[in-house]
A and B are shown apart, each in its own frame.
Chain A
């Protein structure tokens, strides 16, 4: 709490508005406001200024954040954003026993060597690169689709949101992935409808949403039992689009939206829990 006695009245009343003064001063100022019309008028002006300033400053948050800056922070030259964790204090590190780690590292190295030998000795070792390439291709195709369809004003979707139950039946049977249309109103997104796409020769369901600012987001998914199914989120940027992908329940999912949007991961987490 601040001591404001002896300061200008506007300073004292300002601190009173912020609750930064002690009980005795608060009582004193309230008594003053009750009997002094000038003090009361000054207090009202201060409050009006606060309210006006609040509104004015909120407008700043609607300004677009420079896209290049978002990309730079998210991806950083030569640094994988996923490995950029906040470090703990060194004191904690010192308390960790070192021998179990050395032992674990030795075992890991031994297993790694064995695995490497096995891979080198095996002729049929092209499955993994193929799978990675395929996964990359799927996301790239989805990004291409999104760029085209998100600009469609009259034909944004194939089936409108009003046909919700029908969409669930249609796409679940077409794609082979049972799902529920996630309601993302809490994230400021309204469901617009759905499309059936084809990527990597497989049917892909696309659920389309529109934000309050008119930006288009899409959730796309296809049947895929080859991935790790770990449910981990992988965030990437393709030019103007941000993508958060994950695999779960025998399907691959991706959320597509503007790369400058700061809440992509949050939306993806909500979708993963609700779909």
Chain B
């Protein structure tokens, strides 16, 4: 018998993630005591977000560092509305787009939109990287753009509008990438089970 799960409209912070406290990072500026401390609290999440963009630990660390430097120098522009992480995420994403553009100019190659990329692709550097967890590898092997959308909406509870704003893409793209990501992840379940066996 099929049961319909009662659904509640998404709120900004639907989920909580164990091991890391995010409350401080989500407070409005008036209640924020120390911007740097909030930024440090945000680091594990920010690094995870950066990983979904770069799909490479070294690039992610560089990106996080650059994003934090920029956030500190521009902290006076943070108006305290919404979530600090959304502001820093958007900054991080912009920096990564710039970086990709630079690389494109340097090497003549760029990124491929997730919607037009049919085959799974992993950057050579990502292939070489050693990740402790097999699941991380699988996540990072998803076509570009899928993991970021999934992370923001499904894991961190951002609304479609917030996610679109952070990633600089239309809401329609958020929706299609999200459903694609979910189906890709569902397909990985059996793959993961086989690898464990």
Among residues 152 to 197 in chain B, which have CB atoms less than 8 Å away from a CB atom of chain A? 153-155, 159-160, 171-172, 175-176, 178-189, 192
B108 interfacial by beta-carbon distance below 8 Å? no
Q: Is the pair A46, B8 in contact by a Cβ cutoff of 8 Å? A: no
A-B contact pairs, 14 of them (CB 8 A): A2-B171, A8-B179, A17-B7, A33-B2, A50-B182, A53-B154, A55-B135, A57-B48, A63-B44, A65-B43, A72-B65, A73-B40, A76-B72, A266-B21
Asked, given contacts A7-B175, A18-B160, A89-B79, whether A53 binds B21 with beta carbons under 8 Å apart, the answer is no
Once bound together, how far apart are the Cα atoms of A40 and B2, in whole Å?
8
Chain A residues with CB under 8 A of B19 = 61-62, 188
CB-based closest 7 A-B pairs: A49-B186, A49-B182, A49-B185, A14-B179, A60-B48, A56-B135, A10-B179
A116 interfacial by beta-carbon distance below 8 Å? no
Residues of A in contact with B, size category = 35 or more
Q: Is the pair B10, A19 in contact by a Cβ cutoff of 8 Å? A: yes
Among residues 32 to 51 in chain B, which have CB atoms less than 8 Å away from a CB atom of chain A? 32-37, 39-41, 43-45, 47-48, 51
| Contact pattern, A 199-218, Cβ under 8 Å of B = 1, otherwise 0 | 00000000000000000000
Among residues 9 to 46 in chain B, which have CB atoms less than 8 Å away from a CB atom of chain A? 9-10, 15, 17-21, 24, 29-30, 32-37, 39-41, 43-45
A69 interfacial by beta-carbon distance below 8 Å? yes
Chain A residues with CB under 8 A of B29 = 86, 88
Q: Is the pair A14, B138 in contact by a Cβ cutoff of 8 Å? A: no
Asked, given contacts A20-B159, A85-B34, A266-B21, whether A66 binds B61 with beta carbons under 8 Å apart, the answer is yes
A28 interfacial by beta-carbon distance below 8 Å? no
Least Cβ distance of A240 to chain B in Å?
A: 16
Q: A19-B7, A19-B9, A263-B41 are in contact. List 18 more A-B contacts (CB 8 A).
A: A2-B160, A2-B171, A4-B175, A13-B179, A17-B7, A19-B10, A33-B4, A50-B154, A52-B188, A53-B139, A53-B182, A55-B135, A56-B138, A56-B185, A57-B139, A60-B48, A73-B43, A235-B37
Once bound together, how far apart are the Cα atoms of A10 and B176, in whole Å?
8
Chain B residue, CB-CB nearest to A69:
B65
Once bound together, how far apart are the Cα atoms of A53 and B141, in whole Å?
13
